[in-house]
Amino acid sequence: MISAFFIFNQKGEVLISRLYRTDFKRSIADVFRIQVVSNSDVRSPIITLGSTSFFHVRVNNLYVVCVTKTNANAALVFEFCYRFISIAKSYFGKVDEESVKNNFVLIYELIDEISDYGYPQNSEIDTLKSYITTESVISSAIAAEESSKITTQATGATSWRRGDVKYKKNEAFVDVVETVNLSMSAKGTVLRADVDGHIQMRAYLSGTPECKFGLNDKLVIDKNSQGGASDAVELDDCRFHQCVRLNEFDSTRTISFVPPDGEFELMRYRSTSNVKLPLRVIPTVNEIGTTQVSYNISVKANFGNKLSATNVVLRIPTPLNTTGVDCKVANGKAKYVPAENVVVWKIPRIQGGQECTFSATAGLTSTTTRQVWARPPIDVDFEVLMLTASGLIVRFLKVFEKSNYHSIKWVRYLTKASGSYQIRF
Amino acid sequence: MAANMRGLTQFIADIRGARVRELEEKRINKEMANIRKKFKAWCSCHAADGNLDGYQKKKYVAKIIFTYILGYKVDVGHMEAVNLISSSKYSEKQIGYLAVTLLMHENSDFLRLVVNSIRKDLDENNEVSNCLALHAIANVGSSEMAEALSEDVHRLLISPTSQTFVKKKAALTLLRLYRKHPTVIPAAEWALRLVSIMDDQDLGVVICVTSLIMALAQDHLDAYAVCYTKAVDRLHRLVIEGEYSATYAYYKVPSPWLQVKLLRLLQYYAPSEDATLRSVLHEVLQTIMNNSAEPSRNVQHNNAQHAVLFEAISLAIHLDASSPLVGTSAVLLARFISSKETNVRYLGLDTMAHLAARADSLEPLKKHQGTIILSLRDKDISVRRRALDLLYSMCDTDNSELIVGELLRYLKVADYALREEMVLKIAILTEKYANSYKWYVDTILQLISAAGDHVGDEVWYRVVQIVTNTEDLQEYAAKVVFEHLKSPSTHESLVKVGGYILGEYGHLIANDTGYSPLEQFQVLHSKSQFCVASTRSLLLSTYIKWVNVFPEIKPQLINIFERYRHVLDAELQQRACEFYSLASRPDDDEVLQNVCEEMPPFPPRVSALIGRLNRKLGDTEDKRTWIHGGKEMNLERHANSRKATLGPGSSATGTTTVTGNTDAQDVMSSLAGLNLSSPGEQSDPSRVDSSVVAPRVAVGPSVEKWFNKLIYSADGVLYEDVQIQIGIKSRYQGHLGQLAIYLGNKISVPLTSFTSTIHVNDSEALSATFAKIPPNILVPRTQSQQLLHVECKKAFSSFPILTVSFLAGAHQSVSIRLPISVTKFIEGVKLGQADFFERWKVIGGPPREAQAVFPITLDGAGQLDLVRYRQVVSGNHLEILGDVDPNPNNLVAAGVLHTSVDGKVGCLLRLEPNREAKLCRLTVRSTSEDVAAEVLRLIEKLLRLDS
C-alpha cells in the first residue's frame, strides 16, 4: 500500500511529507524531484523506478504524490489522491501552494486520519468534519460524547451518516451539472461531442431517510418497457456514491440510498450520443497575403428563447507574429491579449435564438522563418441554466422515513463549458 | 550600458520575478507583441521620420536577445539587428553584433546583408569597430564570410598601422576561419608575410600569430619552412637573452605559452641540417632543462615550467633521440613518473612513451619498468591509459613476456573502457615479440578466455592465420584449445577458435588419450547451444571436416546435420543440408576428401590489428608528431605519411594525413592480403622536386651584369635598389668557401623582420649555411655583414638562391642567385707543355670533352680582346699556361676542382679565338664529363656576353 505521501510545489520543493511506513527515507522525495519535476519529458502519472512507484496528480501547480514499494492498486491510489484534494478543498477552499502552507498542521492531521499504515480509511468529508475541526477546541464533556458517537457511526451500517440528525424543515436539493466537451472541424462536422455530468445533492433530512431516485435514463426506461420513449437518454457509464445500494441497482435499476447528511456527489455519468450543442459558432478566417488576417465569427444560441447563456467568453487565436487587432462587435467586448496570443470576446448574456457577430482584422509583421500558422481552435466558455445538453431529466425523488414527514425537493440543471468547447477553423 | 535602458531592466526583472513558467511565457508574449508592433510601425514609416530612434531599436533588440537566450523562439528583429550594426554609436553597434552572432546561424540568409557592414567596420580606422567585426567573423564563421572577408582580416593583420590588439584578434580570427574552411585561405601565398609577423615587438601578437602559423604549417610544411629559423631565433631571444617585457613573465617563466607553441611548431619539421640552428636550439633546450632542474614551491611556477619542459623534451627527442640532452631528460622523466601530482605523472608517462617511440635503445626506460607497471594501478584512469600506452611502446622481445603477463593480469581488473584497447595491444605485442609460438598461443588463448566480449574478431582471425601458417604449432595449439574448451564457461570467440583449430588439426592429437574424436566432439558440441548462428555454422563446418578424418563418429555427426536441416536460420539450414548430403555419400567417394583438404597456408599479410588500433586514435586538434609503438612503427608511419603528402590531392585533406592512411586499411581487405598503400608508392620522384618551391629570382639587366661580373671576380655588388644594397666578398680554399654578404639599408627607417634564407637546389652537392642566425632588424643607413659558409661536395650546376625579405611599411622580398659556381672551387695548377698535352690526350675526346664554337666581337681596334679573355679564364680560377700553345692568341689553362665527396677532378681548357672568322672555339676536357660541360657552359656564357 501507500508508503509515503508528499506534496511538492512547482519547483519540486517538499511542502508536505508523510512517511506511513519505514521502507523509505525522507530522501525519496529528491528522487521524485529529479526524475519527475525537473524532467519535462515525463507525462505519465505513474513512474516506476526499480521497485518504487510514484503516483502523482497535479492540481494548481502542486504535485500530490503517493509512493509505494508494493504492487498497489493504481486506481485506489489515485482515488486516494483525488479524495485528498476534495477534502482539502472542502476544508480550506482552494488547493494551492499558499493554502497548503497556511494549513499544514491541518493537512498532517487529515492525512493521518484518512490513512493508517498506508491503508486508506474513512475519508467522508462530513464525518471528518465532525471531529477534525478548524475551530477552537470544544469543551471536553461534549468532545467525549462526540467521540463515542464517532466510533459507533464509523463502525455502524451507514458509516456516512449519524442516526440522530434532526431538521425542522426537511429539504433536499438536486443539482444536475453537465460539462460539454466539443471539438468541431473546420468544415463544421462534429469530431467529438460528449457530456460529463454529475448530480450533486444536498440533503437536509431528519432521521435515516430512504431515498429513491429516477431519471429518464434509457436503461430504466427500457426496463419499464414503456416502448421507445423518445426522450430517453443513453448514459455510457455511471458511478455512484458509496451510499447507493449497488446490488439493488444491478437487479432492478433503481437508485436507492440513505443519503449522508449535507452535500455530496450522488453520481457521475457520461453521455456521448444525442448531445445538444447549446452554442453554434461559425467562424470565417482568411489570411490576406502575409500581412493580415480577417476574422468573421458568428455565435448562435441554439436553445429555447426563454433560457439564456451567460458568461460567454470566446478565445480567438491570432498568429504568433500579430502586431495588433482591430475588432468590431455588436454585443459584449473584444480585446486582443498579446500575452496569450488570443482575442478575448466576452458576452455577458445571449438570449436563446439570438445571434452575435464579431469581425476583426489582425496586422502581421514579417518574420525571419516563414512558418504556416497552426490555426489553433477557438475556445468557448459559457453557462446555461435549466438546460442539460444530454437531455437528462430527473423524473422523481422519493423520500421514505419512519416518521413519514413531508419533505421538499428542489431540482436544478446547469450546462457549462470551460476550456474544452473547441471549434477549429 | 544596460543601466540606462530602463525598459530592458524592467523586462528582465519581471521575468526573473515570474513565479511559474506560464507567467514568464505570458510576459514574453506580451513584450514580443509590443516589439512587433513597434518594429512594424517603424518599418512602415522609417523613410519619413522613423519614430524609432537608435536607442529604442537597441533596447528592443536587447530584449529580443534576452528572450532568445532564455530559449524562446525569436523570429523578428533580425533586420533591426543588421541595421544596428551600421550605426555609428558604439553601444548600438555592439548590441547589433551581439544579436547577429547570437541569433543567426552560419547559413542564415541575413548574413549576406551583414557582410558589407562588417567589411566597412574592418576598413574603418576605429580599432573598436575593427574588433567587433573580427569577433563577429570568428563567432559566426560562415563559409560565405570566410570567402568575402578573409582578405580584409589578413590586411588588418599585416597592416603596419593596426594596433596590437587588433592584430591579435585578426590572427585568431584567421585561425578560426582556417580551421573551419581550410580551402578559403591561400595559406601558401601568405606564408612569408605571416611568418614575418613572428618578429613583431609585441609578444602577444607573436603568440597569436604563432598559433595561426602552427595550424597553417601543419598542412603546408614547405611553404612555412621559414618559420623554423624564426622560431629558433625567438626561443633564443626569450630563453637565453631574456628579451621580453615584464608583463609577459608568468611566475618568472618568460611567456610559457609562446615557448610551448614554438617548441611544438619546431616538432612539425624534420630536424634542421643547419649546424648553426642546431647549436642554438641545443643551447635553448639545455637552458630550459637546467632551469627546471629544481622544482619550485609555487604551484603555478611549477606548472609553467613543466609545460615548457615537457614540450622541450619532446622536441629534444624529435631532434635526435640519442643526444645527451635526451639522456638528461630521461632522468627527469623518471623523476616525474613517480611524482605525487597526477598531472605530472600523466605528462611524464606520455612523454616517456614518445621517447620509447623514438629511441634506439630502450635500456634507460627499462630501469623504470617497475614504476610504470605500478602506474597501471594508478587511481586516475587517464594515467592508467598512458601507462598502458607506454608499456605498449617500450615492449620488445626481452621484456615482452613480463609486460604481456603484467597486462594480462591487469586486464582482469581493468576498467571496462580500457579493456578493448588493452586486448588489441596485448594481441599485437604477443604477436610481434613472441619468443616461442607456444607462448604466443598460450597467451592469446588466455587473453580470449579472460577478456571475452572485448576481443574483436580480428584477434581470433589472426590466431587462426598464424596457427595455419606454422606447422610445428598446430598440434600444440589443438591440445591447448581443447584444454581451454573443457572449462565450464567459455567465451564465444574461444569456441570459434576451437571449432576452427580442432576441425583442421584435431586429427593430429586424436591418438593421444583424453583427446579422442568422441571427446573432442562432445566438448565442442556441448558449447554449441549457447552460441549465435554464425558460430554454429562454423561448428557445422568443423563437423564436416571431422566426417572426413574421424569415420568413427560419423553417425553422431550425421545425426546433427539431420537435426540442423530443420532449423529456421537459412544459413544454418543450407549448410546442414549440403553437409548432410556430402556426408551421406558412399565411403569410397572422393568428393568429401577433396572438399575437406587441409587448408593451405595463408599468404603473408599485414596484421589487421594495428590498423584497428590506429583507427581508434582520432586526432581532433594539433597533430601528434609520433604514435605509440616502437621505433619501427614510427618509421613506417613516417614513410606512410610522407607518401601521403606526395600523393595526389593530399594537400587539400592535409589535416587527416596521419590517420587517413591507416583508416584506409580496412580490416577485411588487409586480411585478403591486398597492399593498399601501393597507390602512394607509385608517385614518381619528380614530384619531390616540384613540391619544393623555388623562390622566383629577381631579374633585370643590371642584376645580370653584377652577377656575371661576380662569377669571375671575388668581390662586388650583387644587388641594389632604392631600399637595400647587397654586396659580396668571397674567399675560397679547396672545397670550402666563405662569403661575406653585406646588407645595406639605404633608407631612413629600420628594416624590421629582416630574414635571409638560402635555397640550395641540390643540397647533396653544395651546402650553404649562415654562420649565425641573422639579426632581424637593419637599422637605417647601416650595413650588416653575414657570413655564409659553403662547401662543395660534388659537381653542381645550379646557383644557390639568397632570399631576403623585410618589412619596410609593406612586406618585401628579393631573391637573387648567389655567384657560387663550380669553378669557384677550382684551383689552378702549373703544367709544362709536355705534361699538359699528355693529360689532354689521356682524357681524350667526348664524352669527357666538351666543345663549343661561338661568334665573338672584336674590340675597337679590330683586335681580339685577349686581356678580357685572360681575365675571364683566370677569374674562374684556372691557371693560364703561357708557353704551351704555339699560337699566341690561343689560351690554354688548367685547374683542379676540389670536392669533399667526389675528391679532386682535373680540368683542362683551350680557347682558340679567330679574328678573321670572328669565331672562337672553346674546348674543355675533364676527368668528369659533368664538370667539363659545366665549366664550358660557364665560361662560354661569359665570353659570349659582349658578342
- Over pLDDT 90: what percentage of chain B? 6
Confirm or reject CATH 3.60.40.10 for domain B701-820, answering yes or no.
no
Residue B461 has a CB neighbour count (10 Å cut-off) of 20
Residues belonging to chain B with any Cβ–Cβ distance to chain A shorter than 8 Å: 19-20, 26-27, 29-30, 32-34, 36-37, 39-41, 43, 75-76, 78, 110
Query: Grid cell 601530482 — which residue?
Result: B341
Q: Which residues of A touch B40 (CB under 8 A)?
A: 323, 363, 365
> How many percent of chain B have pLDDT more than 70?
88
Residues of chain B positioned with their CB less than 8 A from the CB of A321: 36, 75-76
pLDDT at residue B457 in the model: 77
Q: Say which residues have a Cβ less than 8 Å from residue A142's Cβ, sequence separation at least 6.
A: none
B62 labeled binding residue: yes
pTM: predicted TM-score of the whole model, two decimal places? 0.69
Q: Is the pLDDT of residue B50 over 60?
A: no
Residues 6+ apart with CB under 8 A from B297: none
pLDDT of residue A359: 94
Spans of all domains in chain B = 395-595, 608-672, 701-820, 823-946
| Mean pLDDT (whole number) for B376-396 | 84
Q: Is pLDDT above 70 for B678?
A: no
- What is the pLDDT at residue B690? 39
Of the two residues A162 and B577, the one the predictor is more confident about is B577
Q: What is the mean pLDDT of chain B?
A: 80
The three-state secondary structure class of A279 is: strand
How does pLDDT run across B604-631, given as a tens digit for each residue? 666 666 666 665 554 434 555 666 666 6
Whether B27 and A61 lie within 8 Å, measured CB to CB: no
Contact B27 A339 (CB under 8 A): yes
Q: How confident is the model at residue A219 (pLDDT cuts 50, 70, 90)?
A: low
Q: What grid cell was written down for B396? A: 620488445
Range picked from A173-177, B194-198, B292-296, B816-820 for highest mean pLDDT: A173-177
Q: How far is A61 from chain B (nearest CA, A)?
A: 9
Place of cell 563418429: B553
Q: What dihedral do alpha carbons B381, B386, B387, B393 form, nearest 10°?
A: 150
Q: Select, from the ranges A268-272, B404-408, B531-535, the one with the highest average predicted confidence (pLDDT).
A: A268-272
- Partner residue opposite A365 with nearest CB, options B19, B20, B36: B36
Length of chain B counted residue by residue: 947
Average pLDDT over residues B443-453: 79
Q: Within a 10 A sphere around the Cβ of B213, how many other Cβ atoms?
A: 29
Instruction: Tell me what pLDDT residue A285 has.
Output: 92
If one counts every other C-beta atom within 10 angstroms of the C-beta of residue B379, the result is 7
pLDDT in tens, A190-209: 999 999 999 999 999 988 88
| Burial class for B839, CB neighbours closer than 10 Å (0-12, 13-18, 19+) | middle
Q: Which whole number is the average pLDDT over B790-802?
A: 83
The DSSP result for B105-131, as a single string, is -TT-THHHHHHHHHHHHHHSS-HHHHH
Can you give the pLDDT at residue B639? 60
Indicate if the pLDDT at residue B676 is higher than 80: no
Q: Picking from A129-143, A324-338, B55-69, B136-150, which range would have the lowest pLDDT averaged per residue? A: A129-143
pLDDT at B249 over 50: yes
* Predicted pLDDT at B572: 85
Choose the most confident range, by mean pLDDT, from A241-255, A313-327, B368-382, B842-856: A313-327
Segment B456-510, tens digit of pLDDT: 777 788 888 888 887 878 888 888 888 888 887 778 888 888 888 888 888 888 7
pLDDT of residue B641: 54
Identify the top-confidence range among A226-230, A348-352, B746-750. Answer: A348-352
* Helices within A39-139 (DSSP H only): 74-92, 97-102, 104-114, 125-131
Cell of B871: 681575365
How high is the pLDDT of residue A141?
60
The length of chain A is: 425
Using CB atoms, pick whichever of B26, B37, B78 lies closest to residue A323.
B37
Using the structure block, give the residue that is written with the C-alpha cell 467562424: A283
Q: Is the dihedral of CA B740, B741, B742, B748 positive or negative?
A: negative
Q: Do B110 and A368 touch (CB under 8 A)?
A: yes
Q: In this predicted structure, which of A166-180, B194-208, B837-851 has the lowest mean pLDDT? A: B837-851
Report which residue type is found at B432: K
Residue A416 has pLDDT above 90, yes or no: yes
Facing residue for B30 by CB, picked from A321, A338, A366: A338
Does this chain's domain B395-595 share its CATH topology with B701-820? no
Pick from A77-81, A114-118, A155-159, B726-730: least confident = A155-159
Q: Give the pLDDT confidence score for residue B635 in this predicted structure.
A: 65
Q: ipTM for the complex?
A: 0.72
B676 to chain A nearest CA, in Å?
49
Please determine, for residue B659, whether its predicted confidence score (pLDDT) is greater than 50: no
- Chain A residues near residue B46 by CB distance under 8 angstroms: none
What pLDDT sits at residue B620? 39
B844 labelled ligand-binding: no
pLDDT digits (tens, 9 = 90+) for B912-941: 888 787 888 888 888 888 888 888 888 888
Between B640 and B778, the more confident residue is B778
Cβ neighbors of A412 (< 8 A, separation 6 or more) are A173, A174, A175, A176, A385, A386
- Whether the per-residue pLDDT at A251 is higher than 90: the answer is no
- Please say if the pLDDT value at position A166 is more than 90: no
Q: What is the mean pLDDT of residues A124-152?
A: 69
Confirm or reject contact between A324 and chain B (CB < 8 A). yes
pLDDT value at residue B816: 84
Residue type (1 letter), B101:
T
Q: How far apart are CA B202 and CA B204, in angstroms?
A: 5
B187: confidence class by pLDDT, cuts 50, 70, 90: confident
Asked if the model's pLDDT at residue B10 lies above 70, the reply is yes
Q: Which of B738, B895, B743 is nearest to B805 (CA)?
A: B743
Sign (positive or negative) of CA dihedral B602, B605, B609, B611: negative
Per-residue pLDDT, averaged over B279-304, amounts to: 84
Fold classification of B395-595 (topology level): Leucine-rich Repeat Variant (1.25.10)
Largest CA distance in chain A: 81
Are A16 and A5 in contact, with CB atoms under 8 Å apart? yes
Write the CATH number of the domain with boundaries B823-946.
3.30.310.10
CB B448 within 8 A of CB B455: yes
Question: Using 50, 70 and 90 to split pLDDT, how confident is the model at A344?
Answer: very high
Mutation site for B-interface testing, chosen from A366, A369, A370, A372 by largest number of B Cβ within 10 Å? A366
DSSP state for residue A137 in the 8-state scheme: P
Residues B64, B35 contacting (CB under 8 angstroms): yes
Task: Describe the crossing of helices B127-140 and B164-180 by its angle, rounded to 10 degrees.
Answer: 20
Cis ω for the linkage preceding B847 (within 30 of 0): yes
What mean pLDDT is predicted for residues A131-151? 65
* Residue B336 pLDDT class (50, 70, 90 cuts): confident
CB-count burial class (<10 Å; 0-12, 13-18, 19+) for B105: exposed
Selection from A99, A101, A102, A123 nearest residue A111 by Cα: A123
Mean pLDDT, to the nearest integer, of B19-46? 81
**pLDDT digit string (tens) for B522-576?**
888 888 777 888 888 888 888 888 888 888 888 888 888 888 888 888 888 888 8
**Of A303-312, A395-404, B562-571, the least confident:** B562-571
**B29: chain A residues, CB-CB within 8 Å:** 338-341
Instruction: Evaluate if residue B677 carries a pLDDT over 60.
Output: no
